[in-house]
Amino acid sequence: MAITKQKGDIAEAFVTYLLKQNGFNVLIPWGEDNRYDLVTEKNGVFKRVQVKYVTPKNGALTVNLRSSNNYNIIHYSRKEIDIIAAYSPRYNKVYFIPLGDTKNISTCKLRVEPTKNKQKKFVIEAFQYEYRFDLLEK
C-alpha cells in the first residue's frame, strides 16, 4: 500500500473514532470515487466530510483543498464537500474547516505557531477550528 494511502487511512480512522466518541453517526461511502470520505449525522443534520492528513511545516498546517492523481487535479466545491477534517498526528488533533471559510481554491494554511514577523493580517489560527464538532451540527 502506498504511504499516501496509509496516511489517509490513518486520518480517516482517527477522525471516525473522534466523531463516534462525540455522538455522531458516521457513514462511509461505497467505493473510491466519491468526493467526500465520510458523512456525519447527528440529530438529523448530515455533513459531507473530506479528511486530510497534515504535517506541520514552518509553524503552519497546509491543508490541500483538492484531490490529485497522476492525471488530474480536482478542486473541492461547496456542492460536493461541507467540511474538511484536517488530522495532524504531530499534535494529535483534528481541525474541522467549513469549505465556505476558505478563500483559496487550492490550499488553506492554519497557523499552529506565531509568524516570525508577527503578522496577523490574513493569518488563520488553527485553534479556531480545533475540535469544532459544533460545525457539524448546524
Summarize pLDDT for 104-135 with one digit per residue, the tens. Answer: 778 888 888 877 776 766 678 889 999 999 99
In this structure, what C-alpha cell is assigned to residue 48?
459531507
Residue 37 CA to residue 76 CA, distance in Å, equals: 12
CA–CA separation, 72 vs 68, rounded Å? 5
Q: How much is the pLDDT for 72?
A: 79
Cα dihedral sign for 93, 38, 26, 104? Answer: positive
Cell output for 99: 469549505
CA dist., res. 6 & res. 123, Å (int): 30
For residues 12 and 8, what is the distance between their CA atoms, to the nearest angstrom?
A: 6
Backbone angles phi, psi at 60, to 5 degrees: -140, 155
The pTM (predicted TM-score) of the whole model is 0.89
- Give the C-alpha distances (Å, rounded to integers) separating 124 from 29, 52, 78, 94, 109: 31, 17, 20, 15, 7
Cα dihedral 65→100→125→86 (10° resolution): -40
Grid cell at residue 136: 457539524
Residues 27-85 pLDDT 10s: 999 987 788 999 999 999 999 999 999 999 988 998 988 887 667 788 888 899 999 99
Mean pLDDT of the chain: 89
Domain 3-136, second-level architecture: 3-Layer(aba) Sandwich (3.40)
